[in-house]
Structure formats: structure tokens, C-alpha cells
Structure 1
Amino acid sequence: MPAASAIKVMVVDDQSSMRAMIRRTLQDLGFKDVRDKPGAAEALDDVRTNRVHLIVSDYNMPDMDGLDFLRQVRADPVIGKTVFIMLTGTADAEVVKMAAEAGVNNYIIKPFSAAALKEKIERVFGELS
């Protein structure tokens, strides 16, 4: 049973209000090390040098979308096994299928509750303490 406080998280979303809401939700769940970036390229550079255990990324972002970001993470020999949860405003079956094929660990549709986010994280890490 991992302690949420021991899990390092990177939140990636181009909307600052959404990043703040996710960060607050994670902190309320007991996560202490929560960083965020407005874009996938910056986040990719950051997690390559300052590794995290969990990436929570939006799908629909300019420049590099969440699916391309996921593929870049999975292709990297150092960070390739990082847990990746994709957020999206749509339940488009094709996007879900492509994310699954690219190796996403879980998927959550916006808007979502703290309980839903916790449940998605616990499906990967096990029950949080």
C-alpha cells in the first residue's frame, strides 16, 4: 500500500485552472510532490531530468497532444515505465483505443471527482495510504 506522499506527480494541461484543480485534488488526497507544466514538450524535458512516478496529462493540447506525449514517454528507455493517466473532455472510443495501444495506464473523462481520480490512481498503484 503506497503512501500518496511518496509518489511524485507531473500534471500536464494547457489550461491553468485545470492544472490548479488537479494539483489541489491530488494534494487533498495526500500527494506532496506535485509539479505541473502547461505543455507536453516542457513536461517531457522536466520528467527526463526530474523523474516522477505518475504523469496526469490532458489529451487535447496545442503543439503536442497527450497521445504524442504518451508515445514519447513510452519510447524513452529511462522514463518509459512511468505511470500515465490521460485526461480528456471526450469519451471518443478511437482516442481511448489509441491511448490503450500506446500504453496508457488509465483514462479519465473531464469533469471528474476527487474520488474518481483516486480510484484511477489506485487501480495502478494499489490502495493509497
Structure 2
Amino acid sequence: MPAAAAIKVMIVDDQASMRAMIRRALQDFGFVHVRDKGCPREALADVRQDRVHLIISDFNMPEMDGLQLLEAVRQDVIIGKTVFIMLTGSADREVVQKAAALGVNNYLVKPFAPAALKEKIERVFGALT
């Protein structure tokens, strides 16, 4: 059982309110190393400089969408194994299939309850302490 406090997280969403909501939920679960970016390109550069264990990313963003971010992460030899959870406002089957093909670790449809986010994280990391 990993300690939530030991897991480093990057939240990527173009909506500041969504980033804040996810950050609060993670802090309530015991996470202390939480960073966020509104731009996927900035998040990618940041994660390459200072690695994280978990990326929680929105799908629908301007310039670079969540699938493109996931693909860039998976193609990087250093950060390619980073756990990636995709958030989206729709359960579009095509998006889900593409994300699965690119190696997404889990998928969560917005809006979601904080407990649902915790469950998705625990499915990958195991029960949090």
C-alpha cells in the first residue's frame, strides 16, 4: 500500500476550476506533491524536468489534447511508464479506444465524485495510506 504523500502528481486541465477541484480532492486523500498546468505542452516539459508518478489529464484541451499528451508521454524513454489517468466530459467510445491503445492506465468521465477519482488511482497504485 503506497502512501499518498509519497506519490508525485501532475494535473493537466485547461480549466483552472477543474485543476483546483482535483487538487483539493488529492490533498484530502493525503497527497502533498501535487503540481498543475493549464497547458499540456508546459506540463510535458515540466514532467520531463521533474518526474511524477501520476498524470491526471483532461482530454479536451486546445493546442494539444489529452490523447496527444498521452502519446508524447508514452513515446518518451524517461517518463514513458508514468501512470496516466484521462478525464473527459464524454464517454465517446472512439476516444476511450484510442486512449486504451496508447496505454492509458485509467479513464474517468466528468463530472465525477472525489471518491471515484480515488478509486481509479487505487486501481493502479493499490490502496492508499
Give the TM-score taking structure 2 as reference length.
0.99
Question: How many angstroms apart in 2 are the aligned matches of 1:113 and 1:32?
Answer: 20
Counterpart code for 1:25: A
**Structure 1 partner of 2:57:** 57
**Structure 2 partner of 1:71:** 71
Counterpart code for 1:89: G
> Once the two structures are superposed, what CA deviation does each residue of 1:69-119 show, in whole Å capped at 9, x if it has no partner?
000000000000000000000000110000000000000000001110000
Deviation at 1:39, TM superposition (A): 1.1
> Once the two structures are superposed, what CA deviation does each residue of 1:29-77 show, in whole Å capped at 9, x if it has no partner?
1000000000110000000000000000000000000000000000000
Question: How many angstroms apart in 2 are the aligned matches of 1:86 and 1:40?
Answer: 13
Counterpart code for 2:49: T
Question: Which sections of structure 2, spanning at least 5 residues, go unmatched?
Answer: none
**Structure 2 partner of 1:17:** 17
Alignment of 1:1-129 (within 5 A): 1-129=1-129
Counterpart code for 1:34: V
Question: Which sections of structure 1, spanning at least 5 residues, go unmatched?
Answer: none
* Identity across matched positions, percent: 72
Runs of 4+ in 1 over 2 A off after TM superposition: none
| Other structure's SS at 1:78 match | coil
Question: How many angstroms apart in 1 are the aligned matches of 2:49 and 2:96?
Answer: 29
Root-mean-square deviation (Å): 0.3
Question: How many angstroms apart in 1 are the aligned matches of 2:8 and 2:70?
Answer: 17
Give the TM-score taking structure 1 as reference length.
0.99
Question: How many angstroms apart in 1 are the aligned matches of 2:84 and 2:92?
Answer: 18
Question: How many angstroms apart in 2 are the aligned matches of 1:39 and 1:96?
Answer: 21
Aligned length: 129
